[in-house]
Amino acid sequence: MPNADKFEVVKLSELPETPKRGLAFLECATRKDINAKVTFDGLKQKTREDVMNRFDYWLDEGICDKYFHGFPNHPVYHQCWVFKWKQAGAYHRLYGFLANPRAITNKGFRACILVSHAQKNTANTDPSELAHAESLRLNIAVMTEVRKAFPERKQP
């Protein structure tokens, strides 16, 4: 069955990529479950900047599990990723996955593609969110858009 959903990978102009990392949102007009960008755009200025700080920290190759982390030891979801913040007692999560779109010209480059937002009352990860992100990571149409957003570098 042909894939009817039209995906788009959107980078934030105010969040330039670094030599080793880049971040973008997955968008799809026909899929309400892909809501990370909509949620991010709707954040109040202060919260938005708090989240941007977390993005920056990851782009700078920082490590802080309180702000974000992957699932490297999980047998299935080891390419999934989550950014975290707390607001008014609620736990907020942006789920996504890591990709390596420049396998030829920049093997070490990692793109984080954010997919969905979840708000909950506990700090625990919901496996269904990871399953959702993983299914999109394995979607050929999605990965084609990821490679378009983060094309291989031109050789000198």
The contact set with another protein (CB under 8 A) reads 12-16, 18-20, 46, 49-50, 52-53, 56-57, 60, 62, 64, 66-67, 86
Residue with Cβ nearer another protein (52 or 131): 52
Residue with Cβ nearer another protein (45 or 73): 45
Closest approach of another protein to the CB of residue 109, in Å:
11
User: C-alpha angle 89/91/93, rounded to 5°?
Assistant: 155
Number of H helices, E strands in the chain: 4, 6
Closest approach of another protein to the CB of residue 81, in Å:
19
Residue with Cβ nearer another protein (16 or 42): 16
Closest approach of another protein to the CB of residue 45, in Å:
9
User: C-alpha angle 7/119/56, rounded to 5°?
Assistant: 65
Q: How many whole angstroms separate alpha carbon 114 and alpha carbon 72?
A: 17
Residue with Cβ nearer another protein (14 or 104): 14
User: C-alpha angle 98/50/17, rounded to 5°?
Assistant: 40
148 to 19, 27, 28, 144: CA distances (angstroms): 17, 14, 15, 6
Closest approach of another protein to the CB of residue 13, in Å:
5
Residue reference for tokens 């625990």: 124
Closest approach of another protein to the CB of residue 22, in Å:
11
Residue with Cβ nearer another protein (67 or 97): 67
- Which residue(s) pair with 140 in the sheet? none
